[in-house]
Amino acid sequence: MHSVSYIVRIYRFKKNDPRSLVGVVEEAGVKGKRAFTNYDELWEILISSKNIQRHEKQRGPAATEYKQKKEKGGDDENN
């Protein structure tokens, strides 16, 4: 199982309602940001299986081998 690191920036929250947050989340080492407007959205971003799957595809050994094959000009199983 791979560990995923995030950078969470909270720009605004209400003192009397800590579940009311506004900010963005970045996955460390991956381009792009995802915005959230409340605690539930933040939680969904952090636990979403899409993030885990994307992380494994980008950093997994199979992805590295595939990228190396593509760079050498072979993209099918025979090369």
pLDDT digits (tens, 9 = 90+) for 18-53: 788 999 999 988 899 999 999 999 999 988 856 555
- The count of domains in the chain is 1
Q: Which amino acid is at 56?
A: E
pTM of full prediction above 0.85: no
Q: What is the pLDDT of residues 57-71, one digit of tens each?
A: 665 555 555 545 545
Residue 27 maps to a domain = yes
Residue 37 maps to a domain = yes
Residue 32 maps to a domain = yes
Residue 43 maps to a domain = yes
Residue 78 maps to a domain = no
Residue 76 maps to a domain = no
Gap between the Cα atoms of 71 and 68, Å rounded: 5
More confident residue, 59 or 2: 2
In this prediction, residues 10-22 reach a mean pLDDT of 88
Query: Which of the four pLDDT bands, split at 50, 70 and 90, describes residue 10?
Result: very high
Residue span of the structural domain in which 22 resides: 6-70
Residue 33 maps to a domain = yes
Structure tokens at 65: 């081998």
Gap between the Cα atoms of 15 and 18, Å rounded: 6
Residue 14 maps to a domain = yes
pLDDT for 51 equals 56
Gap between the Cα atoms of 19 and 77, Å rounded: 50
